[in-house]
Structure 1
């Protein structure tokens, strides 16, 4: 993985010193909150319901065991003993004191980490395929290009104050696992008929209030010119993007207003002026960055492990875990393992300091000291010997990180919701827990098969609800009732689509029953047990689901004052439910 050089380290250390002085001035009231706001946002610091939240960058999801242990240290020393892994392959800490944040950033800098550009109207953390470098369907390893984009975009003076936040994702495999068509810019590495490497470029994708699937702007950009082409897209956006209304400021709105053909014309016109300029990549630079991503020292192993097959036959739980959490690897005798942060009854994406430390120890022992954070809020060990799978599974089970539900119904993506976020209309975490507990039976989940369920507490869609096969969005809170819209038919991947709302909204307690009715239609209507949920929805349409879901009245629950009901929030938070928006 990439290691800082002296310039990287100096830049990060100087940023820590700058922010330490800015915090000092804020605490001394030499800076107003309005003056401090852009300074803290540039360092990933948000003000949320109960205090400050810090979002830490994990570029393209790649993290070492040393860095992971630092996250555990921060959780213990400065937070409340846990961290929350996000859909942008980052981690958030929700309970920091402002006076401690410079020390947190200094600790991060000591292990080559930071929180720069994890917020604000700039280019955010570059995301990529969590299986990069080891996936069997990989065409080109995307990590060197993701790192080049990271270095290019960090502190880029022209793109520090864009009309709105900007997100880029890179995929290098036949199957898109980075949701590139749901990004402002999505890059798919490919090869032409002569075997030359290039990029298929998508632009104008995004979720939020106006969910749009990205449009192809160029079928093939040679690798030498990808930086200049991306720069031209950003220059056109910076020049013409709306700044009068933040709800219409994303690049997707500009692309939709101009049309993809006119937007392409403007980009090509600008690109013609900078295409062969200083931003042109050289083979020497790509090889230099690629040298940081050489594969581990793999052993020569047999193709299959006989003991693994025997244990699988005798242990149903292990067999289920192999089926859902273990993926094929490029190297013979190795496997990719996904650690589930979605144990039913727990907060999706959360990990305690004890778990984070243990994950780092296990990565050292079983996966060359390296991990990846997924945009589904799980952790990946990319290089595990097949002969170690039984032992690793036993260790993960003790840590409650072996739920065999990756890609299944309880592998729920969820934003923090109204417990933390001042923008949220409704709670996400308790709803995710309620749904997971209702459908916890693993045999039922395997019968349902591959399905995604995503929850967002508001229209900003941090839980990526629009691209969930089933998407849930908090829309309002009124008279002690929270209301949620349900959509179906969303999907990420090569055939990306945005979900369509089924009908009227549901109260909190009605949502699990509505999900049950949706699944009933799927099981009744699927062509066979191999037809996935998304395929059934696309084949029969939304109407059969809508008719069944709304055919009968939902039972009413007594109205209770949720503001004092601590059973509805995770126990470790130990706070009353509160949001200033309510």
Structure 2
């Protein structure tokens, strides 16, 4: 009987590839590759074979699959326009160079580590380095021949690219002010380290249905955007005055965005690693492996609901019940930790804004020098593509701000510099359709000239494709790259526009037919921001205005 004519009951019995229900046979190419060989095993082949024999010696299953377990993706071959994204085979899109992602759990760096990252950028990556919105550093132009030397350099200072990508527990993000913020609920650094040291790189969790993104934070600003992580532990205080965590599961964006759901529990700090392990184990065992586009934990959580998820966690994985716990207080209007602010020890931290996360090897070396000259040498990356220098004496703050400004690193940036984010884009990414980093940087410059007095919080997130690496659905102005038709009928780079998104509250509104060419982007943003500024009521955010504005005001 053809599939279309099968009875509904028979169709419902089709497995989702859940290991816990006995579906252990690979149901797609990705699952077959993982069953054939654990992604972690590719390290030995990179060191022993591929780095010596060169790019042409790489097994395709490693090149476009297992390499990701060590942070390596082939980058886009130059000169291929966005119209060919998705239509050309990988072999034609692939360059012979790689993007390489350095894992920085909690965003915590020393000056020594930053200098090593800087040196690798200069030696091996043509100077490239981007701060990502998951606190990593991302290189381009990496040759396979140089990877072992890069690993040796990183590992000499306690850094790694292991499980920076792939179907693995990726970097654990944390508040850059952990341990020093005057108002933090708790310092999550010990929990991040414990999870990392116990489980990252373990074969027990190196074959997940898809990627798994984690966050641990006691930050009152909620800078780790717990609402859009696969799992997040957020600092709370229970009725007895004890500090611990609330656990959230099932957040994620991409083409099917969902906000994480609270499990309603109270997790003591010493329990956090085993609760994290239990949640990850549920994903490994019950996650949907049959269809890759449904393999994220958010689909499982959406189908089960938080109550069932908690029940399975407690009964099947923890072996004990967790007490009920409160949800955290609302976030602050800006979550990025930019500016000069006091620490709890009387010193100050200084947060500053590169342009859409783009830095380079020379600049990173300068940042390390400044961190030692004016502070203690401690540097942090943020989940907003920003950087922070810690432990600065009060008398050094303005001197540091001036020194940073000499390198176009703004401590008191405009709203547009402060809150514009961009993904990698067509310059290097094989999934992208349009250019993003330079376009976003140009947008910042133009808006600063045209709207010099605008000072309201306003996020502008620029993405090169529908996959939402730059969180377009939760931005005030979210820009999804696509090809559009200009006034002359020519197909050109452009953006679909999402308006009024808020992390944890609502996804951006799509107004029918609202698109812009890349060339017309600045004019559009200026127009809609001016309308908001003219019409907003006292204390009204851009997202609130969007909900009441006429569609004509949004066009």
Query: 2: CA distance between counterparts of 1:94 and 1:413?
Result: 19
Q: CA RMSD in A?
A: 2.5
Q: How much does 1:30 deviate?
A: 5.7
Paired position in structure 1 for 2:498: 487
**Aligned partner (choices 467, 473, 490) of residue 474 of structure 2:** 467
* Counterpart mapping for 1:73-84 below 5 A: 73-84=119-130
TM-score (norm 2): 0.80
**1:499-534 deviation per Cα after TM superposition (whole angstroms, max 9, x unaligned):** 222332222122222212221221122113x54333
**Aligned partner (choices 352, 359, 366) of residue 339 of structure 1:** 352
Q: 1:185 to 1:487 in 2, by over 3 A?
A: same
* Counterpart mapping for 1:180-579 below 5 A: 180-273=226-319, 325-332=339-346, 334-342=347-355, 348-402=356-410, 404-405=412-413, 408=416, 411-441=419-449, 444=451, 447-476=454-483, 480-492=491-503, 495-504=504-513, 505-528=515-538, 530-537=539-546, 541=547, 543-544=549-550, 546-550=551-555
Q: 1:63 to 1:28 in 2, by over 3 A?
A: closer
**1:204-250 deviation per Cα after TM superposition (whole angstroms, max 9, x unaligned):** 00111111111111331233322222222222222221112211111
State the secondary structure of the residue aligned to 1:361: helix
**1:345-398 deviation per Cα after TM superposition (whole angstroms, max 9, x unaligned):** xxx211122211111011111120110011111110122112112211221122
Q: How much does 1:410 deviate?
A: 5.2
State the secondary structure of the residue aligned to 1:167: strand
Query: 2: CA distance between counterparts of 1:262 and 1:131?
Result: 34
Q: 1:28 to 1:129 in 2, by over 3 A?
A: closer
Paired position in structure 2 for 1:286: none
Partners of 1:337 and 1:384 within 8 A in 2: yes
Partners of 1:409 and 1:445 within 8 A in 2: no
**1:135-186 deviation per Cα after TM superposition (whole angstroms, max 9, x unaligned):** 2220111111111122223123222111100000112033311101110001
Paired position in structure 2 for 1:3: none
Structure 1 gaps, min length 5: 1-13, 277-322, 343-347, 551-582
Query: 1: CA distance between counterparts of 2:392 and 2:459?
Result: 26
State the secondary structure of the residue aligned to 1:394: helix
**1:248-297 deviation per Cα after TM superposition (whole angstroms, max 9, x unaligned):** 11111111122333333322321343789xxxxxxxxxxxxxxxxxxxxx
Partners of 1:424 and 1:458 within 8 A in 2: yes
Q: May I ask how many residue pairs the two structures share in their alignment?
A: 477
Q: How much does 1:18 deviate?
A: 5.9
TM-score (norm 1): 0.77
Partners of 1:198 and 1:222 within 8 A in 2: yes
Q: 1:234 to 1:96 in 2, by over 3 A?
A: same
Query: 2: CA distance between counterparts of 1:75 and 1:481?
Result: 33
Partners of 2:55 and 2:144 within 8 A in 1: no
Partners of 1:374 and 1:380 within 8 A in 2: yes
Structure 2 gaps, min length 5: 1-40, 78-96, 323-336
